[in-house]
Amino acid sequence: MNITIVFFSSLLIAIIGVIPPGLLNMTAAKISVKEGHVRGLVFSIGVCVIVIIQTLIAVIFARYLSNHPSIIDILKRVAFVIFVLITIYFLLIANKKGKPNIETNVKSKKSRFFQGMLLSSLNVFPIPYQAYMSVTLASFGLLTFDTTGISSYVAGATMGTMVTLYIYIFFFDRIKSKRIKSQKNMNYLIGTITGVISIVTFINLIKEL
């Protein structure tokens, strides 16, 4: 196992999961605009604390799944349906929806930290997402579920989340000035990526029949 490959694979997986405009990254950006970059970073650190816990839970669950192939087969079928739905959402629906209006009234750094933890806790999508992706990496022989492998994966996911939030915090003005075009392009990009994942998953399911 190459821990560098695991780390950067996990980092890329996390970026793909966090980069679409949503509650966490848009909140981080708006806090940065209204209260300064420092408070935006404090909020992001709070988010990443929960990401560590969520990813750890996901990888431990993936390790359990790796020992129960029948459950993995069910998970692959469920994941295929989920990725198809996500693809449809980003290619056909997301571009028709307006940008969410997020209020940011809390002022202290401490409050921002715990606000980041709270909002991240409410976002449970990373757990099944990271569980499926870590099982996929393991199926290709890139990830082993020992202490080193799990630590590398969790570190990569956390860093990927932080990098994406950092981009939103420090480049939000540019993103905002071109939000319609850039957001549509981003939605198409994410839809294309999840579409490719759906096709690969479907091909693997056909091969197993």
Of 48-57, 122-131, 141-150, give the lowest mean pLDDT range. Answer: 122-131
Helices (H) and strands (E) in the chain, counts: 8, 0
Of 35-39, 66-70, 122-126, 144-148, give the lowest mean pLDDT range. Answer: 66-70
As a whole number, mean pLDDT of residues 41-65 equals: 93
pLDDT of 190 reads 67
pTM of the predicted structure, to 2 decimals = 0.73
As a whole number, mean pLDDT of residues 150-164 equals: 95
Among residues 172, 179, 151, 175, which one has the least CA distance to residue 40?
172
- Number of domains the chain is built from: 1
Among residues 66, 87, 88, 89, which one has the least CA distance to residue 76?
66
User: Residues 75-103: pLDDT tens digits?
Assistant: 667 777 777 877 777 677 655 555 544 44
More confident site: 14 or 192: 14
More confident site: 189 or 6: 6
pLDDT of 100 reads 47
As a whole number, mean pLDDT of residues 120-144 equals: 84
Query: What is the percent of the chain with per-residue pLDDT over 70, rounded to a whole number?
Result: 78
Whether the Cβ atoms of residue 26 and residue 35 lie closer than 8 Å to each other: no
Dihedral of CA 103/105/109/114: which sign?
A: negative
The parent domain of residue 8 ranges over 3-208
